[in-house]
Every structure is written in structure tokens, then in C-alpha cells.
Amino acid sequence: MTNTMSRPPIDPSTHALLDYGVAATFFGLALRYRARNPAAAALAFANGAMVLGMSLCTDYPGGVWRRIPFQTHGTLDVVQGALAGLGPMLLGFADAPEARTFYAQAVSEAGVIAATDWDAGPSQAFANA
């Protein structure tokens, strides 16, 4: 009998690419929202900085300082997703149109977390590249 279960589709290399894209998107949103909704701009900047900082420090392709194990990065992704999803309420713009962006990113983050192979180590990521 063969194993029909497959590994999650997102490997560390792909996850790194997604992370840097998310960080860039949040920084772009911070610029876009700065005049019309300063709270949304601040939340976008905080999320972008968190994702970029984690990415630069994670032990995966694209990581620069590699101090955070990939599995720990996954835990921090949960924190970042929660910040994105709860931030509009905490900062008082839950009903503003800008809040939808953060809610959508939180849902997307949950999907990426669920689809990432957290057991793939750096050596396995480089072998698949």
C-alpha cells in the first residue's frame, strides 16, 4: 500500500518568497493609507516590519542572519496573523474600508501557515531549490 498523503505544498523557499512579498505589500499599504487613515497606516507598517524582520532572521532561503528556526517562524506567523486580524479593532478602525485588507491578510496567513511544510529544514529546502 502506498502512502497517499503528501507533504504540504509550501516549502521554506516558497514561504520566504511569500513573506518578502507580504512585507512589501504592507509597506505599500502604509504609504497608501498614511493620509486617509493613520491608524491603518501604522498597523500596515507594524505588520510589514514584523514580517520583514522575521524573514531576515529566519533560517531559510532568503534569511540573512538565520537566528530563528523555521518552526519558530511558524509560531511567529500565527502572532502576525493575529495582529493583522485583530489590529483594526484594537486601533479603532474595524468598520473602515481599510480594515478589510487586514482581515483578508489574516485569512491568507492562516492558509499559508496550514499549507507550509514546517518540518522541512534548511538543508531540505536547498535540496529542492
> What's the pLDDT tens digit per position in 110-127?
999 999 999 986 644 444
Query: Does the structure show a pLDDT above 80 at 39?
Result: yes
What's the pLDDT at 7?
A: 78
How far is residue 44's CA from residue 29's CA, in Å, rounded to a whole number? Answer: 6
- pLDDT tens-digit map of 77-90: 999 999 999 999 99
Q: 65: buried, middle or exposed (CB in 10 Å: 19+, 13-18, 0-12)?
A: exposed
DSSP bridge pairs for 10: 116
87 near 43, Cβ under 8 Å?
yes
How far is residue 53's CA from residue 64's CA, in Å, rounded to a whole number? Answer: 10
What is the grid cell recorded at 46? 507594524
Other CB atoms within a 10 A radius of the CB of residue 128 amount to 13
